[in-house]
Amino acid sequence: MGNEPILGNSDGGSQPGSRSGANARSDSRIRTGSGSESPSQSQTQTTTRRRVLLGVSGTALAGLAGCLTRGEDSGLEGEIRIDGSNTLRPNSALVAEQFMWENNQVQASVSASGTGAGFQQFARREISLQNASRPITDEEAEHCRENGVEWLELEVVLDGIALLKHPDNTWCECLTVDELGDLWERGSEIETWADLEPEQSDEEWPDEEISFYGRDAASGTFDYFTEHITGSVGNIRNDYSGTPDTNNIIRGVRGNEYTIGFGGAGYYYENEADAELIAVNYEDGADPGDEWDDCIVPTRESIEAEAYQPLSRPMYIYVRRDELARPEYREFVRFYLENTQETAREVQFYAVPDETIADQREKLEAAIEDYT
């Protein structure tokens, strides 16, 4: 997939967002937290949409940018550079595409260097807006302050980190957070599936070496996963294969029956033939309610109900306050908040609650007042 910027309208000039795909995620055939399965409807449009936004090179999409002349000239013009989270990229790319349709003299490019690398660019004023799959760290915040960069944090989507296994793995259906911590922490003595087998297991787990795949240390997904599973950011076993591209995790899981991996849940739902989910039992967490089993997988229902814990998370955009002086920039951020609940579901994320969006709009408008 790479880190190429996404530009323009990849649909050859048709109006972006015209598909009826906003709620497609909940239509896919998935296991819910209560162990049931929802009826399968077509997920082709949603999956295709996400793959287009992830997979088409910046060069190819730049060549299609001229198609946006079929959109509307609102009088706004300029350039907006977006980088950061690989995971959040599809949502920001779709928002940018729709905004450019309504404002065809504005060019918004979306790259995906990773949350950590994006914050470095953000602090150096190299980008206008930062996608982030975790909050800014103290060190990153200090780097921004040293360079005089003031920012606004806006929560825009919900996501879940999925635990992935090979489809032929029939023995491991659910793991507790403690078991996951023992498995993934630095210095772990667990080497085979047999080492991990719970005492109450009905099936003998194979004495086969486990292969590990996950996001690399530049990723906010990595930071969030290690903080909530192994207890501190960066605490992870030395023999795992880290990658900036979640598609490589899917390929790793697909190629080895004894693999386990972690990555954004949306990548699982576009690759259901290649992987299966391991449910999480958060024994020490808050009771999610009687409608949920102890073992829960990431679905739209479990994440938006905050039942899939501790691997449900908000994701953010970071707005440079000084950029709000530019009309095209502040209108883009307004547009983002107005549309992100719909675009999130269209590209297989999850919508933040209405009250959260209202709070983010209030924060934004208060910041805009300082520059208008």
- Residue 46 has a pLDDT of 53
18, part of any domain: no
pLDDT for res 340: 98
Q: Taking every pair of C-alpha atoms in the chain, what is the biggest distance, in angstroms?
A: 67
Domain boundary among 273, 291, 312: 312
Are 277 and 299 within one domain? yes
Token pair listed for 368: 């805009």
Residue 15 lies in a domain: no
- Residue 239 in contact with residue 245, Cβ under 8 Å? no
pLDDT in tens, 164-176: 999 999 999 999 9
Domain identity same for 193 and 91: no
Instruction: Judge if 57 and 150 occupy the same domain.
Output: yes
Structure token pair of residue 233: 């950011």
pTM, two decimals, is 0.76
Do the beta carbons of residue 80 and residue 6 sit within 8 Å?
no
Query: Does pLDDT of 231 surpass 60?
Result: yes
Mean pLDDT of 250-262: 97
Residue 19 or residue 352, greater confidence: 352
- Tell me how far CA of residue 282 lies from CA of 199, 298, 366, in angstroms: 18, 13, 38
Residues 365 and 307 in one domain: no
Q: What pLDDT shows up at residue 154?
A: 98
Residue 217 forms part of a structural domain: yes
The model's pLDDT over 27-86, given as tens digits with 9 standing for 90+, comes to 332 333 443 333 334 344 555 555 555 554 343 344 444 554 567 888 999 999 999 998
Q: Which residues contact 339 (CB under 8 A, 6 or more apart)?
A: 17, 95, 98
State the total domains in the chain.
2
Identify the band that residue 98 occupies on the pLDDT scale cut at 50, 70 and 90: very high
**pLDDT value, residue 199:** 82
- DSSP of 329-343: HHHHHHHHHHHHHHH
What are the φ/ψ torsions at residue 345 (nearest 5 degrees)? -70, -30
Same domain for 30 and 96, yes or no, is yes
Window from 143-157, 194-208, 226-240, 325-339 with minimum mean pLDDT: 194-208
Query: Do 152 and 164 reside in the same domain of the chain?
Result: no
What average pLDDT score do residues 254-277 get?
Answer: 94
Which residue has better confidence, 296 or 51? 296
Q: Do both 252 and 336 map to the same domain? A: no
The reply to whether 6 falls in a domain is no
Same domain membership, residue 224 and residue 356? no
3-state secondary structure 28-94: CCCECCCCCECCCCCCHHHHHHHHHHHHCCHHHHHHHHHHHHHCCCCCCCEEEEEEECCCCHHHHHH
Reference 330, options 154, 71, 140; nearest CA is 154
Q: How far apart are CA 172 and CA 187, in angstroms?
A: 22
What CATH number is associated with residue 324?
3.40.190.10
Question: Residue 12 above 50 pLDDT?
Answer: no
Query: What does the pLDDT read at residue 30?
Result: 31
Domain that holds residue 253: 160-312
Q: Does residue 1 lie in a domain region? A: no
pLDDT given at position 283: 78
Confidence band, pLDDT 50/70/90 cuts, at residue 286: low
Average pLDDT on 269-285 reads: 90
pLDDT at 285: 64
* Interacting residues of 7 by C-beta distance below 8 A, sequence separation 6+: 58, 61, 62, 64, 65, 107, 108, 109, 110
Cα–Cα distance between 177 and 282 in angstroms, integer? 6
State the Cα–Cα distance between residues 344 and 17, nearest whole angstrom. Answer: 12
Same domain, 45 and 111: yes
Contact 156, 360 (CB under 8 A): yes
> Is 202 inside any structural domain?
yes
The mean-pLDDT minimum among 110-124, 278-292, 312-326 falls in: 278-292
164 and 58 in one domain?
no
Beta-bridge mates of residue 336: none
Q: Please answer whether residues 293 and 102 qualify as being in contact, where contact means their C-beta atoms are separated by less than 8 angstroms.
A: no
**Is residue 303 assigned to a domain?**
yes
DSSP structural state of residue 119: H
For residue 162, give Cα distances in angstroms to 10, 206, 225, 303, 313.
28, 23, 10, 11, 11
Residue 151 belongs to some domain of the structure: yes
Q: Are residues 239 and 306 in the same domain?
A: yes
Highest mean pLDDT of the ranges 26-30, 292-296, 354-358: 354-358
For the chain, the average pLDDT equals 85
What is the structure's pLDDT at 26?
Answer: 32
pLDDT at 322 exceeding the cut of 50: yes
pLDDT at 44: 47
* 326 and 308 part of one domain: no
